Amino acid sequence: MIRRFLRFTAAAALVGALALPLGAAELPRVSLGYIFTTHQQPIMVAMAKGEAFEPLGTYLKPVVEKERYDLIADGAPVARLTIVVTKSGSEMATLFAQNHLNIGLGSLPAMMSSIDGGTPIKVLCPVHTEGMGFVVASDSPVKDWDSLLAAIRGGSKPYRIGYHSPTSAPKIVLEGALLEAGLKLTHDGADLSANVLLVDLKSTGNLAPALTSGQVDAWVGPDPFPAVAEVRKTGRIVFDLRELPPAGRWSSFPCCVAAARTDFLADHPEVARAVVKLLTAASEWSNTNPQEAGLIGARWIGIPEEATEHSTIAYGTEPSDSWLKGAGVYLDVLNGMNSFKGSLKGKTLEEAVPLVFDFSFNK
């Protein structure tokens, strides 16, 4: 019996070894997180296209579809990726802090807050700009920014606006605009002296139900969910957040970024560099092939295909001067709300850049 067990174990081990690609046993095991939103469409496109991206120089070879991939750069495997789906940037920040993620795609404010709290991560590159919307019920009198302010100021109780994550870019942008308009905001449902009650709905999946059930008067969120609301008739888009006053301040604004733990960057710089190259190639392909990329994103996360037809998202990994200026606005807004308690408290953009960013892998 023991001999039979040992023979079976040895045979199973041999079969398993033969099933692995050459060198796979030595590949670094890397956990990469992303969120189910088209803001992070490039990584979905890279997974969906797989080896069809081989001519681009960096691509993913499927091991288990949607779960594990070998990352190939310049013709050689450099890592085996385990893909982790998260609900929000704040959840991703928690996974970073617990050392359950090596690399993640999430909102810049979430990564800033994580760094301020002492989590050892650095932002490697942008993933996109634009693609954030404000949604109300179809029969709401709110038609634009001015009528929103009128509804807020004319109400007998706080106007309730939902969001999916405390550190999401849409929430921070809207919060900044509301504060600049001189409104009093609260997260406390018992505070009836406030103009606006901000409601944490915990997940993008809860945005539409909260509006249709009357839990909130409106919500703010990332693409494609505002468009999905219109397609499914669960809400109406009032404006893209890029249209918020003052004019031009919120256009081409940062949102999702790629970040990584600093210990991982020190141990495997070649993997980080390959991931950024992959995101760059997938971003350029997505911008060149928006219809096919949109279909991939819609099918990947299970939304109506028409919800991606009029996307305003611009994908790219280059941290332009305007992008960095927008990062500075986030910094100022979060400091203005006393959100920072640690390393970023009171910092200017110039002081924060070496604490938050490492663009050396984007070359």
Residue 236 belongs to domain with CATH number: 3.40.190.10
Report the alpha-carbon distance of residue 327 to residue 105 in Å, rounded: 16
Phi–psi pair at 159, nearest 5 degrees: -75, 125
Residue whose C-alpha is closest to residue 45's, from 324, 313, 263: 313
Q: Quick one: 304 and 229 in the same domain?
A: no
Q: Six-digit token pair at 353?
A: 């850049």
Q: Specify the number of domains making up the chain.
A: 2
Q: Quick one: 149 and 113 in the same domain?
A: no
Is residue 248 assigned to a domain? no
What's the pLDDT tens digit per position in 223-261?
999 999 999 999 999 999 999 998 878 877 899 999 999
Report the alpha-carbon distance of residue 236 to residue 303 in Å, rounded: 17
What's the pLDDT tens digit per position in 254-297?
999 999 999 999 999 999 999 999 999 999 999 999 999 999 99
Report the alpha-carbon distance of residue 226 to residue 102 in Å, rounded: 30
What's the pLDDT tens digit per position in 129-160?
989 999 999 999 999 999 999 999 999 999 99
Q: Six-digit token pair at 139?
A: 């029969």
Q: Quick one: 178 and 109 in the same domain?
A: no
Q: Quick one: 157 and 200 in the same domain?
A: yes
Residue whose C-alpha is closest to residue 130's, from 260, 275, 8, 254: 254
| Helices 169-180, 108-116: crossing angle, 10 deg rounding | 90
The domain containing residue 239 runs over which residues?
Answer: 132-243
Q: Quick one: 159 and 226 in the same domain?
A: yes
N- to C-terminal Cα separation, the chain: 58
Q: Quick one: 298 and 339 in the same domain?
A: yes
- Four-point Cα dihedral 274, 277, 278, 282, nearest 10: 180
Average pLDDT, the chain: 91
